[in-house]
Amino acid sequence: MNLPGRQRPAAEKIKADYEKVVREYYLEDGKALISCKVRGLDDIVSHYSVKDRENMNPELSAYLDDNIFYVPISLPIIIRFCGCEFTPDEKEIIRRTILLDYEFKLALAKQNLKRNYIYSLLTLCIGIVFLFLYSQTNSSGSVGSLLTVFFWFFLFEFGGSWWSKGLALRDEVKHAQRIMNADIQFESYLQSRSAKEKESV
Using DSSP, state whether 85 is helix, strand or coil.
coil
pLDDT, mean over the chain = 83
Asked if residue 22 lies in contact with residue 70, where contact means CB atoms within 8 angstroms, the answer is: yes
Instruction: Tell me the pLDDT band of 26, cut-offs 50, 70 and 90.
Output: confident
Q: What is the pLDDT of residues 110-161, one digit of tens each?
A: 999 999 999 999 999 999 998 888 888 766 677 778 888 888 999 999 999 9
Q: Say if residues 77 and 32 touch (Cβ distance below 8 Å).
A: yes
Strand partners, 183: 78
Are 58 and 101 spatial neighbours (Cβ–Cβ below 8 Å)?
no
Contacting residues for 28 by C-beta, under 8 A, at least 6 apart: 78
Task: Provide the whole-model pTM.
Answer: 0.75
User: Cα 60 to the chain's mean position, in Å?
Assistant: 13
